[in-house]
Amino acid sequence: MIVLVIIAFALIAWLDVPKLINRKEWKDLIVFSIFYIFAFIIASLQAFKVEIPSPILGIQFFIEKILHLSYG
């Protein structure tokens, strides 16, 4: 499964990165790379069957405990 993740991400990078470099869109390349690396890490962890916590729990904690807001 991890091999498929690596192949898929390599293919997408092979198609998109050269276009950004040729157009000299350096800021776009940096943002693309950051999101791309984050997505690759998440996909790899899922391929290895690692339990990834829901981000909604962190958002809920932030809203209730940090901002002291309640809802619903």
Residue 38 within a domain: yes
Please give the backbone phi and psi of residue 66, each rounded to the nearest 5 degrees, phi first.
Answer: -90, -50
Amino acid occupying residue 13 = A
What string of pLDDT tens digits covers the 72 residues of the chain?
899 999 999 999 999 999 999 999 999 999 999 999 999 999 999 999 999 989 999 999 999 999 988 876
Q: What is the pLDDT of residue 72?
A: 61
pLDDT in tens, 43-57: 999 999 999 989 999
Residue 59 belongs to a domain:
yes
Residue 55 lies in a domain: yes
CB-facing half-sphere around the CA of 32: CA atoms within 13 A: 16
Report how many domains make up the chain.
Answer: 1
Q: How much is the pTM?
A: 0.74
Are 5 and 39 a contacting pair, CB within 8 Å?
no
Domain span including residue 7: 2-66
